Amino acid sequence: MKKEINSIRYQVLSIAFIIFYFLFFTCASQPWLVPQGWSVKRNPTPLGSVSVQAGKNIYRANCIICHGEGGKGNGTLALSLNPRPADHTSKKFQQQKDGELFYKIITGRNAMPSFKQVLSENEIWSVINFIRTLEVKAKPVSPKSTATATATVAASVQSNQQKNIFKDTSSEKQAASVVKRLDTLSIHQENISQTVILQKRIADTSSFVSAIASDTIAIDSLTLNNPNEDSKEERRKFLLSGSANLDINIDGRKFNSAGIAVGFMPVILWKPSKNLFFESHFHIMAGSGTSQSNTSSSSGSMSGMLMRIGTPPPTVQHSGMNSTPAVTSSTSTSSTISMASIMLAYADLVYFINPYVTLTGGIFLSPFGLYPERLHAPWLNRLPDAPAGMGNEQVLPETELGVQFRGGIPIGKTKLVYATYISNGPFLVDDTSGNAGKLSFNNLVDNNKNKALGGRIGFFPLPNNRSLEIGFFGQRARVGQDATPHAGVQALLYGSDISFHHYFRFIKGTIDMKGQHCKVSLDKVYYKANPMEVINVPAEDVNLKDSTYRFNNVTELYFIMMSYRPTASEHFLKNVEYNFRYDYLKEPAFARWNISASRLTMGITYWLESRSAMKLAYQISMPQNIFSKNQNMLMLQWVIGL
């Protein structure tokens, strides 16, 4: 067994080293070449005030987060991207033909996603018309008004291109229709911007972008690239972001008990040099009541990370399952809960080596599936709680303490993204508390000399389209404490995930689907236990001489969730999102901590603005054994992205 494991580790490490060597020494930023024929493609949309206004609305909804309000490449995400976003006001950029810009917008590259499935051709041409006005605004001239500047540019372009513009008497009406529809969409920047942000995080090579995407993009008024500063001061930027939330969870059967929790999750981002970033994330929380949800926010988010620093919260009951930290007893409960804590979620340094490789060191979000990087933040998770086995019921890694390499590799018109890391990994709980055989991920100080090796590979199979991603991930680690009977116990964690996000015109809305399947498998070994507590265990697995027992230590979990939002609706329904999730947790049959259950959760989210929402959800729990509590939950959450 050990020889096989060592052989697998050697092979994986060798492959990882070869990939890194190739990327580090052969990959470099290449110029963005446009195929022949696109440079002569003409813009069929006349450069009038209606078209420019339509393009401005689209630009604000999709582009300013990277390129900035004025198009100078100084958006909120600009410092985290390598290469940096283009300066749309520069002479070099403005010298490009309209057809060349059109090609780049529909194809995308590196951190810039493809907008082919997001915007229509008329919308893209309107964006290009608006971008042409940015050159005038960038000149040190005081135009009489925006309208005058726009008219000047329009007259100049039309005089040069009059013979090449398609004659279309209905163009103004079409543009007016676009403006009307975009006014609706611009109110909901979250829907489009979130897609763009997540695609950037996936396409880019940095957990820095992941932190921003999952915890909020905030402080829109902050200028990250002040032209009045020199290059050194420009790079010394500091950003304080984050989110806040209020959770109320009510017994869904008798409605006679409730729990309330409030949390603030600040994110600190700092750029001390051109390619170096620091990020950290804290959870400040307080709560009380008889029950709490397995929330993805303050009262239970990423418990493995939260317990790295600070005192673990007390055992709670929620969502039909007992939420028990891995170091406490699963049999103890409390009728009244009160807690307050300040805890570190993660802190790491990120170094951009080149557009294809990024190095991260410290406590970072684990690329193990979808939840840690993409769903743990309450403003990204459509429902108030986490899927089974995640959040406060953690059975999977959600952070790692170690070193990580990650990046993306274009493969023709598709793309492959990867992440590989070496970390302390989890450790095996082998005491007599009732959690023997369980994994704990609070491994700030490694309990053995071996390191965990893990990673994820994601693939975007659709050409020039990032709406669908398929991923595979895994981790192998020795989890037993050195110099103990369990020193050689090995754990294998693996799974797959799928993510789909797309706007469908025929239903006038956006569909978001995510799914994940995981298994956690440990060696079958003996643990201490009172024989009376394991009376149901088969006789061949109980040793009465030394009061020990064993079981097949395999945990399986999965979830599938879907959301629909009528983003093109003209009524209040455009702010409403309908959510559905089914999750399943199956723990070892004879483990004393087995709380296997499946759950069905249905909810409605009302978006007050792009990063602020009210959530209402009802959860039905279907326990799989006598230890799981059959408790339905009514959950309410108010979340604000700062």
∠ at Cα 350 (302, 393), nearest 5°? 10
Q: What pLDDT sits at residue 631?
A: 75
Q: What pLDDT sits at residue 82?
A: 61
Higher per-residue confidence, 94 vs 135: 94
End-to-end alpha carbon distance in the chain: 50
pLDDT in tens, 545-581: 888 999 999 999 999 999 999 987 777 888 899 999 9
8 Å CB contact between 194 and 201: no
Q: How far apart are CA 379 and CA 612, in angstroms?
A: 7
CATH architecture for residues 49-161+169-186? Orthogonal Bundle (1.10)
pLDDT in tens, 237-254: 778 888 899 999 998 887
3-state secondary structure of 280: strand
3-state secondary structure of 112: strand
Residue 627 has pLDDT above 70, yes or no: no
8 Å CB contact between 203 and 111: yes
Q: What pLDDT sits at residue 534?
A: 82
What is the arithmetic mean of pLDDT over 584-606?
Answer: 92
Q: What pLDDT sits at residue 185?
A: 36
Q: 83: cis peptide before it, omega within 30°?
A: yes
8 Å CB contact between 58 and 127: yes
pLDDT in tens, 456-505: 999 999 987 888 999 999 999 999 999 898 999 999 999 999 999 988 88
Residue 298 has pLDDT above 70, yes or no: no
What is the arithmetic mean of pLDDT over 169-198?
Answer: 38
Of 546, 559, 542, nearest in space to 597 by CA: 559
Q: How far apart are CA 305 and CA 265, in angstroms?
A: 13
Return mean pLDDT, the chain. 75
Q: 25-34, 309-318, 386-395: lowest mean pLDDT where? A: 309-318
Of 578, 570, 621, 630, nearest in space to 602 by CA: 578
Q: How many helices (H) and strands (E) does the chain have?
A: 12, 23
What is the arithmetic mean of pLDDT over 582-610?
Answer: 91
Residue 402 has pLDDT above 90, yes or no: yes
Q: What pLDDT sits at residue 609?
A: 79
CATH architecture for residues 196-641? Beta Barrel (2.40)
Residue 47 has pLDDT above 90, yes or no: no
Q: How far apart are CA 444 and CA 537, in angstroms?
A: 34
pTM: 0.65
Of 625, 619, 603, nearest in space to 292 by CA: 619
- Name, of 295-299, 349-353, 391-395, the range with top average pLDDT: 349-353
Of 57, 52, 108, nearest in space to 85 by CA: 108
Could you give phi then psi for residue 266, rounded to 5 degrees? Answer: -75, 145
Q: How far apart are CA 508 and CA 564, in angstroms?
A: 10
Q: What pLDDT sits at residue 176?
A: 42
Q: 24-38, 396-410, 468-482, 546-560: lowest mean pLDDT where? A: 24-38
Q: Using a pLDDT cut of 70, give the percent of the chain over it.
A: 69
Higher per-residue confidence, 239 vs 409: 409
- Name, of 167-181, 326-340, 456-470, the range with top average pLDDT: 456-470
> Which is it for strands 427-428 and 548-549: parallel, antiparallel or unpaired?
unpaired
| DSSP-assigned letter for residue 21 | H
Q: How far apart are CA 301 and CA 315, in angstroms?
A: 14
Q: How far apart are CA 46 and CA 38, in angstroms?
A: 19
Task: Count the Cβ atoms, other than its own, within 10 Å of residue 242.
Answer: 21
Q: What pLDDT sits at residue 311?
A: 37
Q: What pLDDT sits at residue 433?
A: 76
Q: What pLDDT sits at residue 192?
A: 36
HSE (CB half, 13 Å, CA atoms) of 504? 11
Percentages helix, strand, coil for the chain (3-state, rounded to 5) are 25, 35, 40
Q: What pLDDT sits at residue 255?
A: 78
pLDDT in tens, 530-547: 878 888 888 889 988 888
Residue 616 has pLDDT above 70, yes or no: yes
3-state secondary structure of 251: strand
Q: How far apart are CA 73 and CA 318, in angstroms?
A: 46
Higher per-residue confidence, 636 vs 80: 636
Task: Count the Cβ atoms, other than its own, within 10 Å of residue 552.
Answer: 12
Residue identified by tokens 């940095």 is: 206
Residues 6+ apart with CB under 8 A from 218: 76, 239, 241, 242, 611, 641, 642
Under the banding of pLDDT at 50, 70 and 90, the label for residue 447 is confident
| Sign of the four-CA dihedral 504, 507, 510, 516 | negative
Q: What pLDDT sits at residue 466?
A: 83
What is the arithmetic mean of pLDDT over 61-88?
Answer: 79
Could you give phi then psi for residue 518, rounded to 5 degrees? Answer: -140, 155
Of 630, 636, 513, nearest in space to 580 by CA: 513
Higher per-residue confidence, 101 vs 214: 101
What is the arithmetic mean of pLDDT over 286-305?
Answer: 50
Query: How many residues in total does the chain contain?
Result: 642
Under the banding of pLDDT at 50, 70 and 90, the label for residue 27 is very low
Q: How far apart are CA 460 and CA 457, in angstroms?
A: 10
| Type of residue at 307 | M
Task: Count the Cβ atoms, other than its own, within 10 Å of residue 461.
Answer: 11
Q: Domain residue spans in the chain?
A: 49-161+169-186, 196-641
Q: How far apart are CA 400 and CA 405, in angstroms?
A: 13
Instruction: Write out the DSSP string of 323-341.
Output: E--TTS-TT---SSEEEEE
**Dihedral, 42, 48, 50, 56 alpha carbons, nearest 10:** 70
Under the banding of pLDDT at 50, 70 and 90, the label for residue 7 is low
Higher per-residue confidence, 324 vs 346: 346
Q: What pLDDT sits at residue 576?
A: 93
Q: How far apart are CA 473 and CA 453, in angstroms?
A: 11
What is the arithmetic mean of pLDDT over 59-86?
Answer: 79
> Which is it for strands 527-528 and 612-623: parallel, antiparallel or unpaired?
unpaired
HSE (CB half, 13 Å, CA atoms) of 303? 28
Residue 454 has pLDDT above 70, yes or no: yes
What is the arithmetic mean of pLDDT over 43-59?
Answer: 87
